[in-house]
Structure 1
């Protein structure tokens, strides 16, 4: 389903000017995005392989495996004719996760050759008939290969919708919001763009300014500084070293002449709370260290404590 935003229960809502929201994101994506090789093709087979490989595997590790796989078995006919043990062996050798994905992919290729006479099904409903292909993968292939899908809703999209438009942590709400945002007839570019936004600018640790997020003027999280999300209840466990946050302070202050203390705190960590464990006292100590090192200045402006880089 696509189209304009529908009436909601009042707990969340999309901006009135959806066209501006859409065009801002698409322009941002088309201007610069990660150049994964499967984004340069509309071959449904190659796209299906990328989607299956990407399940719970980092995209950076998928690229080499995907290129080798489609070079070795470039069509569904060649994959269907391959020995299944060879396909599973490839999966294992490239650490691509559960081997049943390789078996299902092999069986799906055989289905396309026998049931569909070698022609790839195009709609999400038809694609779901393929072995091992669920709603998400079916919709992704329909979108990226045929420009004929609904909104793809993955973890990145949920995080973006929750932060930007206060969509509650509810699958039905996420589906509704994502499809209301989707511009009619543009599922290929849109689904790539919104997932890129979640992967590059609105990750678990947001990079709003650094990545030039195109939705900052509409984003509730950017306005409030509260960047929690369904998959980000607290600061990620690998974050937290003082050296890392010193670097974030410096990087953030490079973007501004000066920032008020709490605004700076919200910019550098997702779980900043003025009176919490990682609040003003923690930030003041961090800034004091940076002052001692001659890197920042802390002063007052209109009664508020502000920080700026030392010039």
Structure 2
């Protein structure tokens, strides 16, 4: 991965954020890519680098849930397996397919058909390989052009959609400002790795950092650096009110991290009341319950545990 810019390179819009710098930024990058490559949702268009197949998936996904896109995408490619096939199809058949599969606005089907004709007639059947060239195709806007350039040719910029904005705002307290999001996304993406990076950060927004986050359940790789995870505030540009998490395990883990951030170390019985006011060593929310929390945090590399004089002592891992 590329070398990280120096702290001085941070734009003014990110100076007040918790945006990672130096070695931390590199660790953030590696953690996300490793998490994605270890396990991710297996959508069929992630197994291809064919620009036509990827464009079809991107256009279909604009208004339709991904689990419903899969059978429609497979049916579409069975009927028109290559861009040349779509280019010579009857437009009314393409529109009828769109309607039959409930894929949203029919003009997207018309634009997709016209884009196929442009590829055949203006580009000799070969797709442009960069975002600017792809935007010349009918109905292909900046986001779709960048996605196709990234996933087909590994030649895109950092994707910035609603999910990515939510992730950046929560994880690094990036201000709710389009320019700040663009700058943050661009600085964070490793040079020349748009395919894996954009897939990974979009997966993070779709699986772990949705409107109702599932930080622990999805094993979010950014928990140790995440501003929202530390503070318990999971609001975001598209989440104006706090998602329900009062009393949740995620909230309690956040309280552990905050409490340990205020002290060099704490024995479990000293930590417990700072996590729950009703903590009692032998109660329902006592040592055994707290040990489960700190064991999870230790496994995530966030907390260090040691045994001293028959008691467990916890501290943040430095």
TM-score by length of 2: 0.77
SS in 1 for 2:34: helix
After TM superposition, the structure 1 = structure 2 runs for residues 138-177 of structure 1, keeping only pairs within 5 Å, are 138-177=145-184
Contact 2:4–2:26 (CA under 8 A) maintained in structure 1: no
1:7 is aligned, of 3, 6, 10, to 10
Distance across 1 between alignment mates of 2:209 and 2:238:
12
* Shift of residue 235, structure 1, vs aligned partner: 4.7
* Shift of residue 302, structure 1, vs aligned partner: 6.2
Distance across 2 between alignment mates of 1:55 and 1:31:
27
Distance across 2 between alignment mates of 1:160 and 1:128:
26
Do residues 28 (structure 1) and 31 (structure 2) align? no
Q: Cα gap change, 1:45/1:226 in structure 2, threshold over 3 Å: closer, same or farther?
A: same
Do residues 112 (structure 1) and 115 (structure 2) align? no
After TM superposition, the structure 1 = structure 2 runs for residues 291-310 of structure 1, keeping only pairs within 5 Å, are 301=273, 305-306=277-278, 308=284
* Shift of residue 7, structure 1, vs aligned partner: 1.9
Unaligned runs of 5+ in 1: 267-299
* Shift of residue 263, structure 1, vs aligned partner: 3.7
After TM superposition, the structure 1 = structure 2 runs for residues 100-249 of structure 1, keeping only pairs within 5 Å, are 100-235=107-242, 249=248
Q: Post-superposition, which runs of at least 4 consecutive aligned residues in structure 1 deviate over 4 A?
A: 306-311
* Shift of residue 56, structure 1, vs aligned partner: 2.2
TM-score by length of 1: 0.78
Identify the residue that residue 308 of structure 2 maps to in structure 1: none
Distance across 2 between alignment mates of 1:38 and 1:32:
16
Superposed CA offset, 1:180-222 (max 9, x none) = 0000111000000000000000000111111111001111111
* Shift of residue 304, structure 1, vs aligned partner: 5.3
Superposed CA offset, 1:140-165 (max 9, x none) = 00000000000011111000000111
Distance across 2 between alignment mates of 1:113 and 1:36:
27
SS in 2 for 1:151: coil
* Shift of residue 170, structure 1, vs aligned partner: 1.1
* Shift of residue 225, structure 1, vs aligned partner: 0.5
SS in 2 for 1:305: coil
Identify the residue that residue 269 of structure 1 maps to in structure 2: none
Contact 1:182–1:190 (CA under 8 A) maintained in structure 2: yes
* Shift of residue 169, structure 1, vs aligned partner: 1.1
Higher RCO, Cα 8 Å, sep 6+: 1
* Shift of residue 234, structure 1, vs aligned partner: 1.3
Unaligned runs of 5+ in 2: 259-271, 289-318
Q: Cα gap change, 1:119/1:39 in structure 2, threshold over 3 Å: closer, same or farther?
A: same
* Shift of residue 53, structure 1, vs aligned partner: 0.4
Contact 2:234–2:242 (CA under 8 A) maintained in structure 1: no
Aligned length: 262
Identify the residue that residue 275 of structure 1 maps to in structure 2: none
* Shift of residue 4, structure 1, vs aligned partner: 3.6
Distance across 1 between alignment mates of 2:72 and 2:216:
33
Identify the residue that residue 96 of structure 1 maps to in structure 2: 103
Do residues 69 (structure 1) and 76 (structure 2) align? yes
| RMSD over aligned Cα atoms | 2.6
Distance across 1 between alignment mates of 2:275 and 2:197:
45
